[in-house]
Amino acid sequence: MRDLFSHNNPLNFWGFVDEIPEPIWKRAIKQAIPALGITCETENIDDILQLVLGEGQFGEDHWSLGLLKRQYYNLKPIIPRPLIQVMRKLYQPLAKGSFSLNWPIEERYALFLWEVGRQVLILTSQTSIAFTPFWPAANRFAFVLTHDIETKYGQNFVRKVADLEESLGFRSSFNFVPERYPIDQSLVGELKERGFEVGIHGLKHDGKLFGSWDEFERRAKLINRYMKTFDAVGFRAPLTHRHPEWMQILDIEYDLSFFDTDPYEPIPGGTMSLWPFFLGHFVELPYTLIQDYTLTSVLGEKTSRLWLEKVEFLEKYHGMALLNSHPDYLAKKATWDVYHEFLLAMKKRNGYWHALPRDVAKWWQSRLILNESIRKENNSSMTTISLIDGELVIDMPVL
């Protein structure tokens, strides 16, 4: 499975203009491994990426649901929603208590990549190196809004969400479940006309998409058909159930089913990545901000404080602030108020690239294939890293 992540090696992540000899990269990676803070018995970067981005650190059975969780999804259709909320709150301390990653901020993979860059400077005796900017137009970080529409009730609230975002100059993606509720095709068309994006959110939202390979293969064929019908290029699996290898048969340009760190999902864990990354044939856009339901219904937060604190952290590392929220839950006043407050706060910020997920995926793909001659021709807009008092510093171009 490690080949699924090989394009994410530090050489491609940094995209230095100057060619760095392979022995330098290997030494830099070796020196940076302790920053990961995980058991790593290899210096091979593909193995390291599989442990981190591939969540290999959580064991071979990481993608499988336990017996109790499988039984829960069998019974969920008849469990009253208030009882589900109680069960989620009871699960909270257990989930967080046994979680091996830091949350809500997991810094170690960023520290690893920064240390690789620092070591390259040290080993090559250079004071600075130019590299391909992380984001267009010298922006410091990316800001992406996504929504999963779980029920017909949530679909009925979509226009209000879109109206709010549009009034503040934002656009987002809305992911529909093809076979759970009758999809309002006029709504789909309207969203596209207004500059929003439409994606697919599984097939039935019943927790059984990854129940077995045969079942996943059968459903994937239907999902691929719906991707074409909706002219969609993005996908998120319901309940963030996921399996990197199986998902390679999906005809998608990008996926949204992974996250940097989250102890509260049915399959807890995380890729530790604050940026998009390549997962086989598609680009993965992990959500890096706490989901709305977790924030307000599970944690009981009344403000957007945790979202905004995470945005500050993501800007520090030039990462991607990607939020997954749900019209189903935004219809609740307490959640709506927090979301509205968050958007107002983001509207006042600057220095970020706000884009639809499909555009972020295309940018990350194009960033990979920028060759040396193109980079040098555009050297005026290059970003540089340098060492100041032994610390790695990123210098943004002034445009």
| Residue among 211, 193, 355, 203 nearest 283 (CA) | 355
Mean pLDDT of 305-331: 98
For residue 10, whether the previous peptide bond is cis, meaning omega lies within 30 degrees of 0, is no
Q: Pairing relation of β-strands 352-354 and 141-149?
A: parallel
Confidence check: pLDDT of 394 > 90:
yes
Compute the distance between CA of residue 308 and CA of residue 177 in angstroms, rounded to an integer: 29
* Structural domain spans, the chain: 137-362
SS3 of residue 91 by DSSP: helix
Expressed in angstroms, the distance from the first to the final Cα of the chain is: 41
Question: CB count, 10 Å around CB of 182?
Answer: 8
pLDDT more than 70, % of the chain: 88
What tokens were used for 158?
């979509």
Residues 6+ apart with CB under 8 A from 8: 49, 53, 277, 278
* Predicted local confidence at residue 17, as pLDDT: 86
* Residue of 255, 4, 287 whose CA lies nearest to 142: 287
DSSP labels for 337-393? HHHHHHHHHHHH--SEEE--HHHHHHHHHHHHH--HHHHHHTGGG-EEEEEETTEEE
* Coil/strand/helix, residue 36: helix
CA angle 83/87/89 to nearest 5° reads 115
Reported pTM:
0.93
**Answer CATH for 137-362 from 3.40.50.300, 3.20.20.370, 3.30.470.20, 3.10.580.10:** 3.20.20.370
Torsion of CA 230, 231, 235, 239, to 10 degrees: -10
Assess whether pLDDT exceeds 50 at residue 290: yes
Per-residue pLDDT tens over the stretch 371-382: 444 555 555 467
Tens digits of residue pLDDT in 325-372: 999 999 999 999 999 999 999 999 999 999 999 999 999 999 988 744
What Cα–Cα distance (Å) separates residue 120 from each residue in 30, 131, 213, 304, 370?
A: 11, 13, 43, 38, 21
Residue pLDDT, tens place only, 34-61: 999 998 888 999 999 999 999 999 998 9
* Pairing verdict, β 383-388 and 391-395: antiparallel
- At 54, the amino acid letter reads G
* Positive or negative: CA dihedral 327, 333, 334, 339: positive
Angle between helices 158-167 and 185-193 (to 10 degrees): 10
C-alpha dist (Å) from residue 323 to 143, 173, 257: 8, 11, 12
